[in-house]
Structure 1
Amino acid sequence: MSKYILKRLGISLIILIGVSALIYLLVMLMPSDYIDNQTAAAVQSGQMTYEDVQRLKELYGLADKSFSGIVKSYVSWLGSAMKGDLGFSFLYGRPVTQVINDYVWISFLISLIAYVIEIIIAIPMGIKAAVNQYSGYDYTVSVFSMIATALPSFFLAALLMNVFSIRLGWMPLQGLTTATQIFDPADWWGIFKDKAWHLVLPILTLTLLNIGGL
């Protein structure tokens, strides 16, 4: 058993490194990068020079687009990542690890709640389908399970957002709180309800996707 576990861990590590290297290569081979896009207006207006842009690229390891340069920058990034340094987020203006730490608990909470709901729904459904084998209920559950297992997660998420958020307007489309509403810090119940309402759609999506596998 220990050999099997070590083998699976080794395969997972190889796949992880391979996928990260491929994504890194594709990003580096793009005609323009994030720094080019963000500094284009400043360069055109004369607020920044080409040399300023190049210094920024050198700072973030984006200056050398040759194969050897890409390999060198990837190895440098991988070494830093293995030490827990995932780099600096252009979008948030903070280290990536800080951004992840701020939001990882939300993902954990969504996954935990969805898993509990899956267990509560899937086990009774499976037992009833097994007891009533070859019945209409059994076939319905089997078809639903196959669809839920085969359906791409991004497709179901986009479908539910389009129906419940965009068309019907029942669910919030993004964020964890309502940006246009200011709550009194003492109104903990109102804050809780607002956050819970924002989590309904992600939990529903994850539950529908995973319930078929149980």
Structure 2
Amino acid sequence: MRKYLIQRFFFGLLSLVAATLIVFVLSRAQGDPLLLYAKPGGYGVSPEQIAALEEKLALDKPLIVQYFIWLGRVVRGDLGETLLAERPVSDVIGEKIGATFQLGILAWIFATLVGVPLGVLSAVKRGSVWDYIGRVFALFGQAAPVFFLGILGILFFAVQLNWLPAGTRPIQDPFWPNQAKALVMPTIALGWLPAAVYLRLTRSAMLEVLDSEYVKLARAKGASGSAVIWRHALRNALIPPITVSALVLVGFLEGSVVIEAVFAWPGIGRMAVESIHNNDFPLLTGVILMFAVLYVVGSFVADIAYTIVDPRIRYD
């Protein structure tokens, strides 16, 4: 197990290096970087300014040297400056990442606490009313678009009932009750689809485990129903939900473009789309690198969780 985790760790580092290499190549494949930073010919950039930019970006050096210089700056947290505001990319990302993390973590908790227990209940009560309610919940959650859920929630809870705010993040207000109210609808809209996925995966895995021989043996030995479900069955059925859970959490932390647009949430997703529209390549590069790091870390955490949940797992 230790050998496998060490291998996965170094594989994650290799993946990060590959991601930085791809991002760097794309930054050079679009043409002369000076066309983005200096826009020569259109803004009267002097030869001295062009020379200073070439020295700053190491454009006067071979391509492989440029990559290692750029990689060293990235490791130190220097992602360059945005083209429009001319501010450090790390500062701009830092301003937006808090809103995305707050919404993403809450949506992940909601999806997990709703989807997994409903999946267990649906499997244990197979063929009952609870099973059909769980199936309807999963079907509706996977079929209804997230923007539809968001708009429907705004129309009903904000416009008709006036219970919740329609959108935005009131950072200047205290968390309770203003910020908490603003989080309710985005959290549910963002977490509904993953909750439905958790339900289907947990139900399928539980049904397979409940029909296994060792569960039948545990029942024959007189184990209580709760012990069979929670200690024997659920623990062995958690591998598929854990795999999805890591990807879902990372996806949430990267920001949901649709939900952030519907609820005017100032997060990473909206910022990434705006950077594309504004042709702000340094900002987009920083966001992509952050996404790559989150995916690698999430995958490694999922590998660790496998060995904790199921000690039978051994990797050669």
Q: TM-score range by the shorter chain?
A: 0.5 to 0.7
Q: CA deviation at 1:207?
A: 1.4
Residues 25 and 70, structure 1, Cα contact 8 Å, conserved in 2: no
Change (3 A) 1:82 1:52: closer
> 1: CA distance between counterparts of 2:149 and 2:86?
31
Q: Which residue of 2 aligns with 1:20?
A: 20
The match for 1:164 among 132, 151, 155 is 151
Change (3 A) 1:25 1:209: farther
Residues 24 and 67, structure 2, Cα contact 8 Å, conserved in 1: yes
> 1: CA distance between counterparts of 2:138 and 2:132?
10
The match for 1:49 among 26, 46, 50 is 46
SS at match of 2:78: coil
Q: CA deviation at 1:3?
A: 1.6
Residues 80 and 89, structure 2, Cα contact 8 Å, conserved in 1: yes
> 2: CA distance between counterparts of 1:95 and 1:6?
34
Query: Match for 2:113: what amino acid?
Result: I
Change (3 A) 1:102 1:129: same
Q: CA deviation at 1:194?
A: 6.7
Residues 43 and 50, structure 1, Cα contact 8 Å, conserved in 2: no
Q: CA deviation at 1:195?
A: 8.6
Residues 150 and 185, structure 2, Cα contact 8 Å, conserved in 1: no
SS at match of 1:17: helix
Q: Which residue of 2 aligns with 1:153?
A: none
Residues 170 and 178, structure 2, Cα contact 8 Å, conserved in 1: no
Q: Which residue of 2 aligns with 1:151?
A: none
Change (3 A) 1:92 1:132: farther
- The reply on whether 1:58 has 2:58 as its aligned counterpart is no
> 2: CA distance between counterparts of 1:162 and 1:19?
34
> 1: CA distance between counterparts of 2:181 and 2:95?
18
> 1: CA distance between counterparts of 2:30 and 2:54?
14
Query: Match for 1:77: what amino acid?
Result: W
| Structure 2 unaligned residues grouped into runs of 5+ | 160-165, 199-240, 242-316
User: In the TM superposition, what whole-angstrom CA distance separates every residue of 1:32-75 from its partner, at most 9, and x where no partner exists?
Assistant: 54x424643x7335x323552343243133x35xxx73321111
Query: Match for 1:21: what amino acid?
Result: L
Q: TM-score, normalised by structure 2?
A: 0.46
Identical columns (%) = 21
Q: TM-score, normalised by structure 1?
A: 0.63
Query: Match for 1:19: what amino acid?
Result: A
| Structure 1 unaligned residues grouped into runs of 5+ | 149-155, 179-184
Q: CA deviation at 1:129?
A: 1.5
State how many pairs are aligned.
Answer: 186
Q: Which residue of 2 aligns with 1:115?
A: 108
Alignment of 1:1-214 (within 5 A): 1-33=1-33, 35-37=34-36, 39-40=38-39, 43-44=41-42, 47-61=44-58, 63-64=59-60, 69-133=62-126, 136-137=132-133, 139-140=135-136, 147=142, 160=147, 164=151, 171-172=166-167, 176=169, 188=173, 193=178, 197=182, 199=183, 203-204=187-188, 206-211=190-195, 212-213=197-198, 214=241
Structure 1 moving runs of 4+ over 6 Å: none
Residues 37 and 83, structure 2, Cα contact 8 Å, conserved in 1: no
Query: Match for 2:187: what amino acid?
Result: I
Residues 39 and 48, structure 1, Cα contact 8 Å, conserved in 2: yes
